[in-house]
Structure 1
């Protein structure tokens, strides 16, 4: 019994996602039972077009072709119109998106070695990007070794992960990429947790700072408790008297001027 063909891939084929698209597409075609037609392993059975076996084969061919074309973006349709054979269409898409020249190999290696983890990208997403580049190189018959992938991963991480490199020396029995990625994810979680605790401690220390009770406050002017010097009523009253006296002097001066 064939699987449901109504499900769709997350993203249709475009100029940038062939590696992920082809992998998902292959799994879908396998689930539908038509991958052998697409990869060229199964050819047309012997018999006339009206033969039952041939008709069943033709139905599966049409299904495979419609599934491939249905998951291709409009800009890529031009590469599917040259044939009604799903195998030829698949190979055509592969040749368009997977140039196997030396330039493609060098360009992919360059991206592989220059990849750096951004601050807003998780370790898991960063490792996935590195793995995808490694898969591309493997497809180009020039794949990196596990130890090289581990080395590039560790060199692509921030300096805060340097201590992890030392701790990995104690795990000489495990040096595979997935094992190291798991340790990097744990270290990321530890650092994030430490950062949150540090921020909480700072906030707590500020909130926990003891506030002085006003009844214990002593005014430096009148030596009475319960208020600060700038709030002292005696000082305010004295300042008011000074202002009144100054105003009186000004009035007297003006009166003398008018008398003259």
Structure 2
């Protein structure tokens, strides 16, 4: 029986180190271990082929087993320490985590449901919501999957409260949402939100608030500020317009209620010049 020469592994440098297998990272760990052992020429000892020469496998087995044991956490190491070959160690670990792919798929399904239900609260800041999205992306990465920027941007734009709707409409109209980076979309929304906050702080109370008064509130406000003058103005406006007016309003001439100034008894006793002046005032008010 001819001996197949061993091309590497035992006499050279050991395979490069990989993160320890802790139970939650089996999928990524197994990929790295397989690549490192194959690069070092030791993978044949783990997965034995039918045409492989037994002496060669025996020569590769010890370094391969040592490498696998060195890549395990202490609790897992004690469970497979009794295995005598690298193939047995690998088979034991695979049997332990044989459902890793199915468990991973189930966890991804649960995570996708949580991602779909994720919404930004009305009082929540954009930074806080972005942090929640980042944590969700990290959970995806831990399960060997990724959340693309397009999915994150879409979720961000669909989840913001109504006060940011104008910014969302502008982004969707003038930007390519499919290729936009998540940080870019977040920065645009934060700039718009900051502008809204500055505007709200600058508005306060005053002239802008007065524009919200109803007509009845405005007249009541003017009467409180002007007192009897407001009633006199109503009397003059009633006289000019020709409508009946308010019979309970105060006469501008004598100060008594119940009649207009033009009907005031004292006005009839006034000189002709004063009556002419009243007519001129009424005509001027009609022009205004």
User: TM (normalized to structure 1)?
Assistant: 0.47
User: TM (normalized to structure 2)?
Assistant: 0.43
